Amino acid sequence: MDTYVINGGNRLSGEINLQGSKNSALPIIAASILVDGNALIKRCPIIRDTVAMKELLLALGCKVSQEKNLFKVDATNCNKDEIPEDLMKEIRSSIVLMGPMLARHGRIKLTHPGGCEIGSRPIDLHLNGLRQLGATVNEEHGYIICEVNRLIGSEIDLDFPSVGATENIMMAATLAEGVTIIRNVAREPEIIELQEFLNRAGANIEGAGSNIIKIKGVNKLHDVEYEVGGDRIVAGTYLCSAAITRGEVLVKGIIPEYLRSTLHKLKETGCTIKIMNKENIFIKAPEKLKSVNIKTMPFPGFPTDMQSQMVTILTLAQGTSIIMENIFENRYKYVPELIKMGASIIVEGKTAIVTGIENLTGATVEARELRGGASLVLAGLAARDVTSVIGVRYIERGYEDFVENLRNIGADIKRVN
Ligand code: UD1
């Protein structure tokens, strides 16, 4: 079984060239289906999720080539209208293919994504939005079939600012007839990136980053080149790797504003944070971290995707921290693994109470989802003795060259199988 073996205790120090954002790249690759011509996407992270998205586009008939971090998509022959079940299971983000496929082909059949490792993750907001643009949506025998002759612009109010639903509706509305206004949209940086990509290809979208987006439908999109921005969650993870090892690290290639709430909490723990040359973040950890309280919220609030990394560093902080997870219902699955390493954490519903201890101790622990898995690596970096993290395929869904990057800043970690 593929395993990360970590000899904990080294103070990390050095520089990281940050990978492109997974959560920006995935919808942008999906949006390439809307483009009449070639979409060139630079700084695409090479991770299991982007590779799976590439496989999906190939299965739908697109031409996709990849040279290092450059993805090139030509959707001219994208004429299949069914997403294969195995690929749908491999990557939940395949749901964001609904909008572009409907807009370009008028039909898409896929399996219901169902439950997943961090909670039930319903898709009602995606489906309601597409219905309001005129699509019919039938759910039968575990399949979803969406069809439409021509999407028509509409006014849509989201009950919750879902990232995926905002993206799906934006992409569908890009080629719809007339104007679409979406209210209470997600304000995450990934939405700004999607708007930028689509507009460069000839779309007419405004408002991303605020809570209302306006889309004037256009007839077609043209060739486009786009470079994906840095991954704010991976950046946050590397900052936490310095925080938990009393180290100092420079993470290069990220808009600091996108990490504001994470940086704010890291400062509260006693870390020194400096922004250098507009898009590099330097962190220096104190000898002992301080406890902090955190509530996860939609952007610009504290991201749920950073919750497990912060809980992990707080296991070694002075005092008690209270964490409230407000976005997903089952996002503490990594906690029993941290407890195996000696952490003192009590989970009650949405709340985790973390009492700082002096040392974590190495153990064999299992990653069960992406960010929780990365957090076990963070724990291993600080723990006494050897930690073996199994289930690394989850971590490799989102982290490009994780082991190599950590080794470059002084970690004693290797991947064995
Ligand atoms: C995206 C991110 C994920 C991040 C999450 C929240 C990608 C590929 N993934 O996931 O890393 O953790 O945003 O920041 O970008 N919901 C509904 N009905 C819907 C859709 C969502 O009730 O139709 C609920 C979900 O159950 C959840 C909340 O809304 O409680 C947030 O989900 P959403 O913002 O949609 O997350 P994703 O787009 O799936």
Of the three residues 192, 210, 227, the one that is the final residue of a domain is 227
Q: How far is the CA of 170 from the centre of ligand 1 (A)?
A: 15
Q: How far is the CA of 294 from the centre of ligand 1 (A)?
A: 19
User: What tens-digit pLDDT sequence spans the chain (417 residues)?
Assistant: 899 999 999 999 999 999 999 999 999 999 999 999 999 999 999 999 999 999 999 999 999 999 999 999 999 999 899 988 888 888 888 899 999 999 999 999 998 875 456 666 789 999 999 999 999 999 888 889 999 999 999 999 999 999 999 999 999 999 999 999 999 999 999 999 999 999 999 999 999 999 999 999 999 999 999 999 999 999 999 999 999 999 999 999 999 999 999 999 999 999 999 999 999 999 999 999 999 999 999 999 999 999 999 999 999 999 999 999 999 988 999 999 999 999 999 999 999 999 999 999 999 999 999 999 999 999 999 999 999 999 999 999 999 999 999 999 999 999 999
As for how many domains the chain has, the answer is 2
- The partner residues of 41 in beta bridges, in order of sequence, read 71, 226
Q: Looking at the structure, do residues 121 and 245 belong to the same domain, yes or no? A: no
Ligand 1 close to Cβ of residue 164 (< 6 A): yes
- Cα–Cα distance, 209 to 186 (Å, whole number): 8
Distance 13 CA to ligand 1 centre (A): 34
Q: How far apart are CA 332 and CA 306, in angstroms?
A: 12
**Pair 204, 296 in one domain:** no
Nearest CA to ligand 1 atom 1: 163
Which residues span the domain enclosing 198? Answer: 22-227
DSSP one-letter code for 93: G
Q: Is 116 a known active-site residue?
A: yes
Same domain, residue pair 182 and 249: no
What pLDDT score was predicted for residue 70? 97
The rounded Å distance from CA 165 to ligand 1 centre is 8
Q: Which of 44, 62, 116, 271 is catalytic?
A: 116
Residues 214 and 248 in one domain: no
Going from the Cα of 397 to the center of ligand 1, the distance in angstroms, rounded, reads 17
Q: Which of 358, 355, 403 is nearest to 381 (CA)?
A: 403
Bridge partner list, 192: none
**Ligand 1 close to Cβ of residue 304 (< 6 A):** yes
Q: Are 151 and 33 members of one domain?
A: yes
pLDDT given for residue 114 in this prediction? 57
Query: Does residue 232's CB lie within 6 angstroms of at least one atom of ligand 1?
Result: no
* Final residue in a domain of this structure, among 203, 227, 251: 227
| DSSP per-residue codes, 183-222 | ES----HHHHHHHHHHHHTT-EEE-BTBSEEEEE--S-B-
Which pTM was predicted? Answer: 0.97
Q: Is the CB of 162 under 6 A from ligand 1?
A: yes
Strands 364-366 and 107-111: unpaired
Together in a domain, 243 and 330: yes
Question: Residues 30-46, buried b or exposed e (16+ Cβ, 10 A)?
Answer: bbbbbbbbbbebebbbb
What are the structure tokens assigned to 97, written together? 């293919």
Domain boundary among 194, 211, 227: 227
Looking at the structure, do residues 275 and 194 belong to the same domain, yes or no? Answer: no
Distance CA 384, CA 7 (A): 8
Q: What is the pLDDT of residue 250?
A: 98
Task: Clarify whether residues 79 and 162 are in a common domain.
Answer: yes
**Is residue 241 domain-shared with residue 336, that is, in the same domain?**
yes
DSSP, res 12: P
Q: Do 112 and 254 share a domain, yes or no?
A: no
User: How many Å apart are CA 96 and CA 345, to the nearest integer?
Assistant: 36
At 86 the pLDDT is 86
Q: Whose CA is nearest to atom 21 of ligand 1?
A: 162
**112 in contact with ligand 1, CB cutoff 6 A:** no
Supply the DSSP string of 29-52, one letter for each residue: HHHGGGBSSEEEEES---SHHHHH
CATH code where residue 76 lies: 3.65.10.10
Same domain membership, residue 115 and residue 45: yes
414 strand-pairing partners: 5
| CA 284 to chain CA centroid, nearest Å | 25
Bridge partner residues of 15 (DSSP) = 250
Residue nearest to atom 35 of ligand 1 (CA): 162
Looking at residue 10, what is its pLDDT?
97
Closest ligand 1 atom, residue 125 Cα: 23
Ligand 1 neighbour 124 (Cβ under 6 A)? yes
Residue whose Cα lies nearest atom 19 of ligand 1: it is 123
Minimal-distance CA residue to ligand 1 atom 31:
162
Quick check: CB of 160 below 6 Å from ligand 1? Answer: yes
Pairing of strands 248-252, 13-17: parallel
Domain identity same for 268 and 146:
no
Report the alpha-carbon distance of residue 372 to residue 70 in Å, rounded: 28
Residue 115 in contact with ligand 1 by CB distance below 6 A: no
